[in-house]
Structures are given as C-alpha cells and as structure tokens.
Structure 1
Amino acid sequence: MQKKLLGMAVAAALAAPAVALAQSAVQVYGTAHLSFNQSKFGNSTNGVPSVTKFGVDQHASNWGLRSTETLGGGMTAWFQAEFNMQIERTNGVNDGQGTARNSGVGLRGGSSARSAAGVR
C-alpha cells in the first residue's frame, strides 16, 4: 500500500508543470510527461528464471524560455524558445534531445496586427 502511494505521489509531482522563476521579463517553463512500467520476462515452466525489469518512458517532455517587451506606440516584441527534454538515459543515442519545438520571434501591434517567424 505504501509503495502504491509513493508511486502515485512521485507521478503527480512529475506530471505537474514545472514553472521556474521569472527573472526580469524572461519566463522559464517546462513539463515532464513520464510513465513508469514493470515487465516480467521468462517463466519457471521451461527452466528459465523469470526476470522483472522496471523502466521509465517519456512522452513529449519539454522546457523553454519566453518573454515579451513593450516597444511603445502599441507595439510589443516577443520570443519563445522551446526544446525537447530527454529525461531517461538512451545509451548515447540522440533521439531529438534539444531539438526545437514551438519556437519563434515576432511583433504584435494594435488590435490584430502580427508578424512572426519560427519553428512549430
């Protein structure tokens, strides 16, 4: 029972968005989407001892920086840089660690005037 409660507490803590300190106008943010699993291999009927393995899978975890700055005259400049975050160890295989996600820079002005460039 205690192991189950501990597991649920850890999962809840890791699933919550991790919003870090905002220094001046720059916000640091991120999310950790993880799942924990257990697999059992082998069986005792064929003489092979069973082996239990535990693992961690991740699902689109990320971190990023974003900010806005008022330029005056109704204009606002903004940027956002968001990256994939590799939480589990992958034995040296690069499977998207640090690649850009929803990132860009732009200007906003007036009621609906916008200009932006980036990677989505």
Structure 2
Amino acid sequence: MSALSRFRSWLGSVDFAVTTTSVVVALAGVSLVFSHVPGERDAFALVILAGVAVPNIYADSWTERLDSRLAGVAWALAACGAVGACYLLVATVVRAVAGETAATVTGLVVTWLLGLVASRAMT
C-alpha cells in the first residue's frame, strides 16, 4: 500500500475525525482560554491536553474502536471537555497548596495519566 493510499484511507477514518475535532477544539479554545483563565500556563496546558492528549488517548489507549466518524467527533468533544475540567480542578487544588508552576505541571501530568487510566477502565 502506497503512502498516498494510506493517507487517503486515514482521511476517511475515525482516527482522523477524532484528531481533527481535538485540534479544532484546542485552537478555537485558545482565545477563550486566554481571555478567561488567569495564567498563560493554564491556557497552554489546556491546548496541549485537547490537541495532543485526546487524540493520543484515543489512538493508543481506547481499545473499543468507534464505527463512525460522527461518533468519533462526539467522543473527541466529550474527551476534550473531560480533560479540560479535570485539568482545571487539579490545577486549582494544587495551586492553593504549592504555587503556579507546580499547579501547571501537576495538572498536565495528572490529567493525561487519568485520561489514559480512564480510557482503559471504560472499555
């Protein structure tokens, strides 16, 4: 199978729908996050989680494959919302105890790991 035919088949796949939705949510959310979240670090962490972690969790850890691109879009939207809420919760709690930098790093790492664990537990 040539590289072009593999690329064409990927464009029609659920993986592409999940990745595209996640990246669009991350990019569209940048302006919203930068205007409403107090620190730039939080905004960057949320963009990384939505645009990188969500497709990674689907591709590498979600064992139950979705059968339609629409289901992939819905899964990605729900996953972006879940990782965003989880990050904000963890970062807020850690910020109250340990400060800004620790909150960002801990929130990012804990959220990504919880996403991986949750995806395995749910399937």
TM-score under structure 1 normalisation? 0.29
Structure with the higher fraction of residues in strand conformation: 1
Q: Which has the larger radius of gyration?
A: 1
TM-score under structure 2 normalisation? 0.28
